[in-house]
């Protein structure tokens, strides 16, 4: 059997097993099409009051424009002290004992006085049947960030409007850690609480978050996973409530002010969260309080534009459901074999490239090893993490070497296909509830950025693709050009590692370029592929074909490995819809080839003629 037929059969087997593992994910992504736009009740109430509108009238306008949920928070001591809500708080001092306490009274004009009195006593575990003021032996300054009462104004407004409630329980004083869960049950019994997540710096009850988690599971209320949150105890709560989880994205007023995020950029960021990261709850805040020229009409128009933008991408403005609670995804053995088979193939191929003899016995040994490794990865979580962390960089390395092999013109396409096949195998194995909800972290992202360039460099020095051997290179004094090249490469790799997983370090020009590509192509190709990876391969083909700059070609070969590392890493974003990943990689290929052709033309018709005017080109 020829090598081409064997390679074709292997590829078909890997794709078939990968497809089997990916099918549940694709079905789930197709069904998970509802997106909710949520706004904060207190912010809406402030805007409505400043614009001369009633709260119900304002909410009706927003609902018509696309608001599908209302965020209502539990009021904390600081809110009550500032006159927010239907309660009052006063300091109580005992001069004889030298102690200080707090008196909390429900305002006499409240329409819900009896209910609030009941809730107030429940909140602080007071067992009397009285309806008057509550006396606490807790100083008022210790209640500043503690939960006091649900914001009944917001709950009633949401109920009248027929909007689901995104509820925010506040932290409790240490000895009352179970009260947040008690109040969650009470509020859910009377109002349409459809999702919740704790407010404050820490989850109430931390480190024991089981009370809130148990309440959520018993009532089947999903917890909102707030993207990029650093709240203490949130990972533990999410893990215990899983799979009753709904991803949420919001931008705080502090971030909008410090980073000067425009309202247009805010809408695009929210749409991108839904499109690229499968976020289904979008919290749209009003402008920061110091923005005096921002009116209710402006906010209503923003809601409409955000809703139209989501609809244009095929989303429905409706309340989402925690789809993983209905269909919990697990690792299957065929996906495990597909990933492990690709990993073992890449290791074998690299060792052969580095000089290991290749025969049928060794091939059988590696084939058997892929089966054993697959079973281990299927059954043992640590083995799965290690296999995935190694598979991603090895796939990127093999794809790079295929593309770079002897400067073939078709190499870039063959390397691209191999990276796609390997990426699908990775995605198939890790398309589980835990990884798609980001409860588990993939271990190989940064390793995939660092290891392929190193392995390509070692391969080139061993096989004299670079004019010198490693020993010869180390035994002679370095050239200035080589030193500059090494500094550039180390700086580029370090920059990519630091930048991996965040978007806060980009320049205004890069941010503008990204937005333009997203609007034009839907799935924005990655910068490392378009401007580094594919152009490096085409430039290398040109230079090899013309026998030019042999000593400095290595920077292009390493640049190519960085591009293919980016391709593989795209498939490791397991929360991104698979169809979007494939579209992104296709867009990256053709745009990168266009940039590469332009780079070759620039070298051929501008740089080379200029160099010839100065000196002969050194090959």
Ranges in the chain, pLDDT < 70: 1-2, 94-99, 288-292, 406-409, 467-519, 615-619
What is the spatial distance between Cα 345 and Cα 361, in angstroms, rounded to a whole number?
A: 14
Which residue is it, tokens 């190694």?
390
DSSP 551: G
What is the spatial distance between Cα 163 and Cα 64, in angstroms, rounded to a whole number?
A: 12
Chain segment 79-122, per-residue pLDDT in tens = 998 889 999 988 887 655 556 788 999 998 888 999 999 999 99
pTM: predicted TM-score of the whole model, two decimal places: 0.87
Domains of the chain, start order:
33-319 (3.20.20), 327-614 (no CATH)
Strand runs labelled E in 108-161: 134-136, 147-150
Chain segment 350-381, per-residue pLDDT in tens = 999 998 887 778 888 888 999 999 999 999 99
Cis peptide before 207 (omega within 30 of 0): yes
What is the spatial distance between Cα 574 and Cα 431, in angstroms, rounded to a whole number?
A: 6
> Do 104 and 146 contact (CB within 8 A), yes or no?
no
**What is the DSSP code string of 475-498?**
HSPPPHHHHHHHHHHHHHHHHHHH
Residue 517 to residues 314, 471, 529, 584: CA-CA distances in angstroms?
A: 19, 45, 14, 11
Reference 396, options 339, 433, 451; nearest CA is 451
Write out the H or E segment, with its range, that includes residue 78: helix 77-81
* pLDDT given at position 101: 85
Which conformational region is residue 220 in: left (phi greater than 0), alpha (psi within -120 to 50 degrees), or beta? left
What are 87's strand-pairing partners?
Answer: 106
> Residues with Cβ < 8 Å from 507, sequence gap 6 or more?
none
Which residue is it, tokens 């009370």?
211
What is the spatial distance between Cα 387 and Cα 125, in angstroms, rounded to a whole number?
A: 51
> Do 86 and 155 contact (CB within 8 A), yes or no?
no
């Amino acid at each position: 059997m020829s090598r081409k037929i064997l390679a074709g059969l292997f590829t078909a087997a890997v794709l078939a097993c990968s497809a089997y593992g990916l099918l549940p994910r694709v079905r789930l992504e197709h069904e998970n099409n509802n997106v909710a736009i949520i706004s904060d009740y207190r912010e809406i109430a402030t805007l409505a009051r400043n614009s001369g509108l009633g709260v119900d009238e304002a909410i009706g306008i927003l609902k018509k424009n696309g608001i599908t949920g209302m965020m209502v928070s539990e009021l904390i001591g600081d809110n009550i002290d500032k006159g927010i809500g239907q309660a009052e708080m006063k300091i109580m001092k005992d001069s004889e004992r030298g102690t200080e306490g707090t008196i909390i009274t429900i305002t006499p004009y409240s329409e819900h006085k009896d209910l609030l009195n009941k809730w107030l006593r429940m909140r602080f575990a007071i067992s009397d049947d009285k309806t008057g003021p509550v006396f606490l032996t807790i100083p008022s300054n210790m209640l500043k960030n503690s939960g006091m009462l649900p914001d009944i104004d917001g709950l009633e407004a949401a109920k009248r409007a027929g909007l689901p409630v995104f509820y925010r329980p506040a932290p409790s004083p240490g000895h009352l850690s179970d009260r947040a869960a008690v109040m969650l049950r009470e509020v859910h019994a009377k109002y349409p609480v459809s999702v919740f997540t704790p407010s404050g710096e820490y989850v109430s009850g931390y480190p024991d978050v089981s009370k809130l988690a148990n309440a959520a599971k018993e009532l089947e209320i999903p917890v909102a996973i707030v993207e990029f949150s650093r709240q203490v105890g949130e990972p533990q709560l999410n893990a215990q409530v899983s799979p009753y989880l709904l991803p949420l994205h919001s931008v705080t007023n502090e971030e909008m002010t410090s980073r000067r995020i425009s309202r247009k950029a805010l809408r695009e960021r929210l749409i991108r969260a839904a499109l690229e990261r499968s976020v289904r709850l979008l919290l749209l805040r009003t402008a920061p309080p110091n923005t005096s020229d921002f009116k209710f009409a402006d906010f209503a128009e923003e809601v409409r534009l955000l809703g139209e933008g989501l609809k244009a991408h095929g989303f429905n403005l409706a309340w989402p459901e925690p789809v993983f609670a209905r269909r919990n995804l697990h690792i299957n053995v065929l996906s495990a074999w597909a990933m492990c088979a690709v990993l073992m193939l890449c290791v074998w191929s690299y060792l052969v490239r580095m000089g290991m003899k290749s025969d049928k016995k060794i091939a059988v040994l590696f084939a058997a090893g892929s089966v054993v490794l697959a079973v281990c990865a299927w059954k043992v979580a640590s083995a799965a993490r290690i296999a995935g962390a190694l598979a991603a960089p090895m796939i990127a390395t093999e794809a790079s070497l295929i593309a770079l092999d002897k400067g073939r013109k078709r190499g870039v396409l063959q390397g691209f296909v191999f990276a796609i096949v390997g990426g699908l195998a990775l995605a198939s194995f890790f398309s589980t509830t835990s990884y798609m909800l980001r409860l588990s972290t993939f271990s190989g992202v940064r390793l995939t950025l660092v290891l392929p360039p190193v392995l390509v460099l070692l391969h080139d020095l061993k096989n004299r693709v670079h004019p010198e051997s490693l020993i010869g290179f180390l035994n002679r004094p370095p050239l200035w050009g080589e030193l500059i090249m090494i500094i550039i490469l180390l700086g580029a790799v370090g920059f990519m590692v630091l930048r991996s997983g965040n978007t806060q370090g980009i320049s205004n020009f890069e941010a503008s370029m990204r937005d333009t590509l997203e609007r034009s192509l839907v799935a924005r190709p990655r910068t490392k592929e378009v401007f580094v990876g594919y152009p490096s391969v085409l430039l290398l083909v040109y230079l090899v074909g013309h026998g030019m700059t042999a000593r400095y070609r290595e920077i292009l070969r390493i640049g190519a490995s960085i591009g293919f590392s980016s391709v593989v890493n795209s498939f490791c974003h397991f929360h991104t819809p698979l169809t979007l990943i494939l579209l992104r990689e296709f867009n990256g290929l053709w745009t990168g080839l266009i940039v590469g052709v332009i780079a070759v033309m620039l070298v051929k018709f501008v740089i080379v003629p200029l160099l010839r005017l100065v000196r002969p080109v050194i090959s």
